[in-house]
Amino acid sequence: MTSILWLRQDLRLLDHPALVAAVAEGAVLPVFILDDVTPGDRRMGGAQRWWLHHSLTRLGEAFTEKGAALILRRGEAASALQALCAETGIKRIHAIRHYEPWFRQSEADVADFAELVLHDGNHLAPPASILTGSGGRYRVFTPWWRALLGRMPPPKPLPAPAHIMGVQGVASDALHDWRLLPTRPDWAGGFDVWTPGEAGAKQALRDFLPLLAGYDDTRNLPSSVGTSRLSPHIHWGEISPATIWHMAARECGEQAEPFLRELGWRDYATNLLDQMPDYHRANGKQPYDLFPWRTGTEADADFTAWTRGKTGYPIVDAGMRELWATGWMHNRVRMIAASFLIKHLLIDWRRGEQWFWDTLVDADGGANAANWQWVAGTGVDAPLFSRIMAPLSQSEKFDAAAYIRKWVPELAGVSAPYIHDPEEFGARPRDYPAKRIGHRAARERALAAVQLTRELRLHLSDD
């Protein structure tokens, strides 16, 4: 039997259950469809497009080596697959199950005209399989994590097929015609720190494994090499979570738990997205629908300064510049930068989430929304809004001086501890901006906004 292999965010050959099943049945037509229609406002951002171009290049080469050709099509996914089925007479489609709402919509549409066989393989466990004692779904991370651990380890990774019988004579788009790479201007010059593709993912894991035992001690230090940098490879499915789990556990045993917990957070975020498909735009806690976010000209100017790394807070500015230059930001700094936008500038978390969606190479539908809602205090399992990060003390606590010097060259000549808050110590260079707002003033304004939200809620309940 000949079947189509529908690829999305699973751009690999190793541990690919849909590919293995299709190969076992006969000839395989691997297909990737660039669908900018079905996602609507979740159309992939510019940084993801850069990564996708290079990942598809590597994947196409890998399929060719195995005996098959990767077919590229553009358009609404279900319509493109229906046309491909009509062209080839193929009626059976294998795919790894995805949980983003736009992918689920496409899956439902495809099932109307073809035999769609969905396989699990992009998560440690299917989200709906992690249930409470009463059979319900979890929304709080800690009990969800305990329940997931009861299901671990995941199944052992499946080997890549030795050979793939391809299908001849099927037309494909040329990848360069999709124009996924930026040109005018080419803002991706710093993206050369990445090696997209399955081989790059394997190398990133090999590079990280010797550092794994010290992960819990170094992961919050932006100046050190303490994180895995696997997140874009995981997002694009160039390596499976099961492969990472087994390799990490074999390398460090129980010492791998802090890292595996972070890997589990991605599954947890998918679990939330599966339950709340609009989690990127709807507050997890409804009372925050009344929150008085700042809008208007001054707020827009603050937002622009934040995106450009010109807030006057060195740790925030370093992170935002790292993001723009490389399409990625250190995880601890992501929290600090997000908290600053939300609580110091009182700008709606959704604006920040959208900026990250466009600029992160690892922008994940579930994790991006869950992370922003956690920092904002609006999520279903998030700390109170009144927990306000102090970016200046966070910078010193996590020894970010070298990180700041790398990404904010205006401060390269400022020594520690003054580099963390040069304005306070009278050491701010003329070419580095003053603070958009002082920390104490920002804290007082944020707490006043929380109090106003409570008063509005009480007023409405009285009515």
DSSP letters for 108-139:
HHHTTTSEEEEE--SSSS-GGG-B-TTS-B--
Proportion of the chain above pLDDT 90, given as a percent: 96
CA gap 382, 374 in Å, rounded: 5
CA gap 416, 400 in Å, rounded: 10
pLDDT of residue 459 exceeding 90, the answer is no
pLDDT recorded at residue 463: 46
Give me Rg for the CA atoms of the chain.
23
**Residue 316 C-alpha from the chain's centroid:** 19
pLDDT tens-digit series, residues 240-286: 999 999 999 999 999 999 999 999 999 999 999 999 999 999 999 99
**Residue 89: other Cβ atoms inside 10 A:** 7
Q: Name the β-bridge partners of 30.
A: 5
Q: How confident is the model at residue 457 (pLDDT cuts 50, 70, 90)?
A: confident
pLDDT of residue 105 exceeding 70, the answer is yes
Q: Which of 328-342, 383-397, 424-438 has the lowest mean pLDDT?
A: 383-397
Q: Would you say 326 and 191 are in contact if contact means Cβ atoms under 8 Å apart?
A: yes
Task: Give the residue carrying structure tokens 């996590």.
Answer: 398
Q: Which helix (H) or strand (E) holds 59?
A: helix 46-66
What's the first-to-final CA gap in the chain, in angstroms? Answer: 65
Distances (CA, A) of 71 to 19, 24, 25, 55, 194: 15, 20, 19, 14, 25
Q: How confident is the model at residue 460 (pLDDT cuts 50, 70, 90)?
A: low
pLDDT mean over 288-296: 96
pLDDT recorded at residue 455: 84
Distances (CA, A) of 347 to 295, 296, 334, 429, 462: 7, 10, 16, 27, 28
Q: How confident is the model at residue 72 (pLDDT cuts 50, 70, 90)?
A: very high
Q: Would you say 294 and 345 are in contact if contact means Cβ atoms under 8 Å apart?
A: yes
pLDDT recorded at residue 249: 96
Q: Which residues of 281-310 are buried (b: 16+ CB within 10 A; e: fewer)?
A: eebbbeebeebeeeeeeebeebbebbbebb
Average pLDDT, the chain: 96
Q: Would you say 233 and 204 are in contact if contact means Cβ atoms under 8 Å apart?
A: yes
Proportion of the chain above pLDDT 70, given as a percent: 99
Closest CA to 326 of 191, 456, 125, 463: 191
pLDDT recorded at residue 386: 85
Q: Which helix (H) or strand (E) holds 4?
A: strand 3-7
DSSP state at residue 344: I
pLDDT tens-digit series, residues 157-209: 999 999 999 999 999 999 999 999 999 889 999 999 999 999 999 999 999 99
The model carries a pTM of 0.96
| Residue 406 token pair | 């790398």
Q: How confident is the model at residue 407 (pLDDT cuts 50, 70, 90)?
A: very high
pLDDT mean over 333-357: 98
Q: Phi/psi at 225 (nearest 5 deg)? A: -95, 85
Closest CA to 155 of 270, 250, 240: 240
pLDDT of residue 383 exceeding 70, the answer is yes
Q: How confident is the model at residue 75 (pLDDT cuts 50, 70, 90)?
A: very high
Q: Would you say 346 and 294 are in contact if contact means Cβ atoms under 8 Å apart?
A: yes
Q: How confident is the model at residue 443 (pLDDT cuts 50, 70, 90)?
A: very high
